[in-house]
Each structure stands twice: as structure tokens, then as C-alpha cells.
Amino acid sequence: MTSAFDPRPADQEFIRFAIDTGVLRFGRFITKAGRESPYFFNAGLFDHGGTLGALADFYAKTFLAAEFDGRLQANGLFGPAYKGITLASATAVALAKAGRDIGFSYNRKEAKDHGEGGIVVGKKLEGRVLIIDDVISAGTSVRESVEIIRAHGATPAGVLIALDRMERGGTAAAPTERSAVQEVQDQYGIPVIAIATLADLLQFLQASDDNDLIQHRDAVAAYRKQWGVG
């Protein structure tokens, strides 16, 4: 049983946290798709114990809320190498502190041929396993994770990410009609749950009275209008 928790969404609090830590920045950035974006989210900058612990708390809160409202059912976490390893392990710690002790595992990039062998480390993959990652870009990490989980006889329960950019896949020259998140949901029939989305970021900027943030509102809104989905 989980301990008492606040089931309200953590999105606005998370946006504030990401901005304050410099993980979410505004300016002019070129994405992997070749688009000029007015904002950039880099989860790799959660590089201290305090910020990683706070991030894990957001993952744990979002996990518990999704269980609470029936969107998610999982009995294990899986972190795809490499960012997902830290995220899954930290989230497991945060969940344990919240009263939900859950096993976690992760993959190696190359199979180990001695000791315990194999490519999976940690809890045995069984039951319903939730993939933990930072964002979904091309969906490659999710595909590899789904294949590993299924190969071990377990069932992918979904994907939990920090930020859903809610933008069309493909490249700037050849965009697709759906986002990478939508493609994952359609292809594998599993939910993708995000701590926050681009829509949440816009809501945060629209409600802000901070001139340093207000100046970026129109650019973010225009970017969503041009490339957004959902």
C-alpha cells in the first residue's frame, strides 16, 4: 500500500523547478529534428544529488497519481541505458520513501559473458514493467526497451518521461503528422505519461508575472502552433 500523497498534477511545480535549476532554458536552440526551438530541456543537467532527488520525487508523484486514477499498473521499473539507469534507480528510491517499494532493472549496452551474464541488471523482468526515461525523441530507446522486456517474458506497462514536447515527429523538412509520443502509444499500445508537457509550459508562462519569462511566451506559443500536435 502507498502512503498518503497529493494526487494533484505536479506539472506546474515541475516547470518551475526545471527553470530554476537551468534544466529548462529559453533562447534559440536547434533540435535534433533541425528545428529552431525557443526552449530547450536537458535532463542531463540534473547532475547533483539534491536536484536528482527532487526530480525522482516528481517521477514518483506522477507514477503514484497514474496508479491512483487507473492509467497505470506496474510492479517493476526499467531504465534504458544510459540516462534511464539513473532515473529508474532514483525513482525506485523515491517510491520506497513514499511507501511504494518496487524493484528496478536496467540494461547494459553490451552483454556480459561472465558472472551473472546477460544484458539486464537488477530485478528480474516479470509482470508489468514501466519504462523510465527523460524524453521521447525518435522512440528508439523505447523500442529497444520493449523488445528487452518482452524477450524476458514480461509486459511493458507504459513509459514515464519528464517532458512531452508535443511536437510532430520527423525533421523540419519532412515532419510527420504525429508526435513521437503518439507513435509509441499507437505502435505498442501502451500509455506514455509525462510529468509535464509543452501545454503545461505554455500555461505556466501565461500565468507568470515574471518579465524574464513573459518575453518568451509568444515565441513558445508560435512554436507550438507551427510544430505542435494534440
Catalytic residue positions, numbered: 112, 114
- Would you call 99 helix, strand, or coil by DSSP? coil
Beta 24-30 vs 103-112: how paired, if at all?
Answer: unpaired
Question: How many Cα neighbours within 13 Å face the side chain of 17?
Answer: 22
Beta-carbon contacts of 171 under 8 Å, excluding residues fewer than 6 positions away, are 33, 34
Work out the burial of residue 181: count CB atoms within 10 Å of its CB; fewer than 13 is exposed, 13-18 middle, 19 or more buried.
buried
